[in-house]
Structure 1
Amino acid sequence: MDVADLQNWTNTLKELESLGIKSDDLLRVGRKVSEEKKKAGLLSQQIAKGKENKVTTNKIRVFDHDPYCTIFQDGRNTKNKTWSVRIWDPKRKKPTTRSLRTIDQSTALTLARDIYMKFSTRGAIRLSTDSITTKELVALYIQNRRGEVSDNNQEGITPRSLNALEQRLKHWMDYIDEKGYGKAHIENIPPELGLKFAQWIKDRKITTGKRLGERKKRSNRTINQCVSATKGMYHQLALQEGHITANEMPKFTYLKKNKDQVSPKQILQKDELSLLMKWMKDKYARESADITNKEYIKRRIFNLTFTIHYLTGMRNGELLGTKWSDIRPARETSKGGQDNMVITIVGTEEKRGKTRSLVAPIKQQLERIKYWYGMLGHHVEPYSDEFVFLKLTTSGIENGDPQTQKVLGDRLKDVLKGATEDKYCPLNLTNKNIQLYSARHYYITDLLFKGVDFHTIAKQVGTGSTYIDEHYSHLVPEMKQEEICNAAKDQDNLIMKFRK
């Protein structure tokens, strides 16, 4: 330092002292600046060596021209310094990382290049922790659908439908496990594997229920529902959320459906229904010697429920979801139509989610139900929001719980068995597969034979005219038997004359 610099420094000190700044203060500031410079120098050295943080260390570009794909090692205290790849996803604006499971740098670079090429050609889908197995896909899909649960099937999925969906998707998980892809990521499963899925279900033994161990008892319609559920899962989740590409979607085939959806074995004939209802009235509900009074009342109510079901043709859920507030007398009734009632089926109980009204001559049956409820100590308030068909237990009546399909179905089986085994009843239903839903089939068939047009029937039962035509068209010859047989007789006369 020369004399001029020393003089300038002295003048600067005097000026600072005049401002109240002492020399000790200057020393402290200087030391602080010196320390910060040292830290900055050390940080620059660490950055140059690729050690800017403890987690990502030794970063190396996989391609010199591409800064978005690098390999790195974990800088934390781990035993094995394995390499990982990091790829920046510009579409989702976040990185994708994946362990390469090797400590060799050359091998890591080779693996990283292969992954990056797959990443680019597959449209930058998730390849790290987002790669999922079939089991994980099903679990994630069910979790998403569970958030859509609603009592109205038009606003979401009902709890019953969700349970059925889980059962259908279980077939796909079992199929994938059997084929050896249970632990494979879904993008690595051959798409053509799904082509034999439907036939695999067809040949599979039944694993639950009363038909345990049986083979080839599932209908093609049921099997196709399983295929549709699986296909929907891949479209709605795996494809839309980028777990797979369109080329990696499984391919499926459907089994041919039986066009005769409604078998005669599912429907009671008119004389059979008459015999059954007579037996229910005269025998089933009058065997009071061997049953309790409460059981006697339950049988009476079941008989009335059975009759109303066959007079309305409602779906099982619609019937049991009916409330007293949904029923009113018909506005205009012709002579003899005083028993006609209008039932409004609200959208939450209707399969299509559309509110509709139907008419049926059920006034007397409803009044008798009220009477038997009174015998159980329960009073029905007119036009209340209480269910018409209650669960006939003490708590069920007190809480106003609706009757269940299982209870009605089990009681129907007992009735059918009792009528068939009664030697005094000429009814034999051994080869009939009569269920609760058979009431709807009978109702539609009966209206067709009475000449009601398809459109009116469709409005009454809540379906489309096309459905009526497709499922019940086989009845047309029998419905037109008079015209057909008369025409045949005329032809027969011509044949006889020709022979003479």
Structure 2
Amino acid sequence: MTAAARVALVIDNTRTQKQRSKRTAPTQSFLTDKHSIYGGKAEIVRTQQSGGYWHFRMWISEESKYVRKTLKTKHLDTAVERAENEFFAIKANLNSGKRIFSPTVQQAAEEYLKHRWEVDVKRGSITEGRWGTIKSQLNHFVAYCGIVGRSERSSVTRLSDLESKSLQGYQQYRQQKGAKDVTIKNEQATINALCRWAFDEGLHSVQHYVFPSISRRGVDADTLRRSTYTDDEYRRITRALISYTSNKTAKAEFLSDEERFTRQLVRHFFLTGANTMMRFGELYQLKWGNVETYSAENQRLVTINVLAETSKVRQSRVIKVRGGKHFDRLRSLSKHTKQGDWVFTAHNGERVTRDALYYHYAQLMTLAGITDWKERNLTYYSTRHYGITKRLQSNANPLTLSKVCGTSLKHLTETYYHADLTEQERAALLRYEGSSAEVVELD
């Protein structure tokens, strides 16, 4: 640095210090009266613009901020009495670990997610995937609160701005975004879980938010039917999988060995999902040490140990299902088949990414000619729907099936009653014959 530059820097610093002193000096002259209470731990002040009314002021070292509050009186004795009450209330909150200044909704959501990660994910109470779902749900909550804040001309929405009925418009907001009622209901449960946590932590004065009731209806038969595959669509997808992973296609598209194997992983992820009826997260986190194939009645079956830490319901289960041949084939293709290896491990030794799975899924839908798959919400989870539906239509024992799927019998029967409706339709079309082979019509 040249001498001229050093001189310029000194002059600039001097100007900055003068500017600072100019900013701080009026603060003292702005006060017209000041009295300390409890040895200066707090004070009451009057300013040029307070109209003679006293204000309470206290420095909160834990949060590096001043508490400022009007005492709504011009009388000194009354002001001192009210200030002492404020002081004791603040000290009581601080001693109990409560914060004085409310965090923003964004900050509260971030702290809650950090809490859930440390307390639940690391201890195995919930899966990382479930934590990601909670994060996604809270993102919608934060976005909505931002809209509410802007409508009230507030750039930042704090938890203290929200009252118990402040989220009455949340359902309509999410419906306009295309969210289904069941999705909104789950989001509201997560939001109230955050609210209870914030209340317990002393961050919020509200224990829970009051949402307009969403009537609990059975899953609409047409809705669930649309969110799974028809038999024809399933056949088209399985044919597309064969073509998508064939040597002919690999040569035509100049695919690398890594890309060819990724397509095989996608193929087997889809087929094992339909055969095992496992949830996406359970299948995605499956390791070879928890898979054992065997033969029974000329079929290849598989025993799978679904670990509690990978299950949505946090309960382990051992299932015996079809699809052993798909695991056998994948094992023969994979380089990573040790006990601790992920079943769906890419050539590089890392688990295949979710992005890769969903990218190829979109390609498969196009190849199979299913153009409305996004509108119908067809995903890998639809393979579970399809597998359960077909087994119910094949008269599988619902109780046994619920145990295999890791869900309750009540949920199974309520959710998949569209399969029962299909069977009722078939029964209605049956013709019953008497002993003389005379057709008996049921009118």
Give the TM-score taking structure 2 as reference length.
Answer: 0.71
Q: What is residue 4 of structure 2 aligned with on the other side? A: none
Which residue, 183, 194, 200 being the options, matches 1:240? 200
Q: Does 1:199 align with 2:172?
A: yes
Q: In the aligned structure 1, how far is the partner of 2:82 from the partner of 2:142?
A: 34
How many Å separate the matches in 2 of 1:303 and 1:182?
49
Cα separation, partners in 2 of 1:492 and 1:380, compared to 1, 3 Å: closer
Q: Does structure 1 residue 412 correspond to structure 2 residue 369?
A: no
Distance 1:221 1:266, change over 3 A: same
Alpha-carbon offset, residue 360 of structure 1: 2.4
Q: Where does residue 337 of structure 2 map in the other structure?
A: 380
Aligned to 2:378: 434
Q: What amino acid maps onto 1:225 in structure 2?
A: N
Which residue number in structure 2 is paired with residue 391 of structure 1?
Answer: 346
Distance 1:176 1:144, change over 3 A: farther
Correspondence list, 1:147-296, <5 A: 147-148=118-119, 150=121, 154=125, 159-180=131-152, 186-187=159-160, 189-203=162-176, 216-237=177-198, 239-245=199-205, 250-256=209-215, 259-260=218-219, 263-282=224-243, 285=246, 286-287=248-249, 288-294=251-257, 295-296=259-260
**For each residue in 1:118-162, what CA deviation from the matched residue of structure 2 results, as whole angstroms up to 9, or x when unmatched?**
899999656996131443544443443343252565268754245
Structure-2 separation of matches of 1:357 and 1:284: 31
Is 1:360–2:321 an aligned residue pair?
A: yes
1:307 correspondence with 2:278: no
What residue in structure 2 maps to residue 38 of structure 1?
A: none
Aligned-pair CA distance for 1:459: 0.7
Identity of counterpart residues, as a percentage?
14
When residues 438 and 243 of structure 1 are mapped into structure 2, their CA distance, relative to the original with a 3 A threshold, is closer
Measured against aligned partners, the alpha-carbon deviations of 1:238-286 in whole angstroms (never above 9, x if no partner) come to x22344545x854322444663265222211223222321232246523
Counterpart in 1 of 2:286? 322
Worse-matched range after superposition: 216-225 or 468-477? 216-225
Partner SS, residue 147 of structure 1: helix
- Name the CA distance, whole Å, in 1 between partners of 2:231 and 2:240: 14
Which protein shows a greater Rg? 1
Separation (CA, whole Å) in 2 of partners of 1:278 and 1:365: 15
Contact 1:84 1:97 in 2 (8 A): no
Q: State the match for 1:91 in structure 2.
A: none
Alpha-carbon distance change, 194 to 290 in structure 1, aligned in 2, over 3 angstroms: closer
Alignment of 1:342-361 (within 5 A): 342-361=303-322
Q: Which runs of 5+ in 1 are unaligned?
A: 1-56, 62-67, 75-81, 88-95, 204-215, 421-426, 496-500
Paired with 2:356 and 2:439, the residues of 1 have a C-alpha distance of 54
Q: Answer yes or no: is 1:335 the counterpart of 2:291.
A: no
Contact 1:313-1:443 at 8 Å conserved across structures:
yes
Deviates more, 1:258-267 or 1:154-163: 154-163
Q: What do you get for the CA RMSD once the two structures are aligned?
A: 4.2
2:388 is matched with which residue: 413, 438, 444? 444
Unaligned runs of 5+ in 2: 1-33, 46-53, 60-64
In structure 2, do the counterparts of structure 1 residues 60 and 222 end up closer, same or farther at CA, with 3 Å as the change threshold? same
Report the Cα distance in structure 2 between the residues aligned to 1:391 and 1:451, rounded to whole angstroms.
38
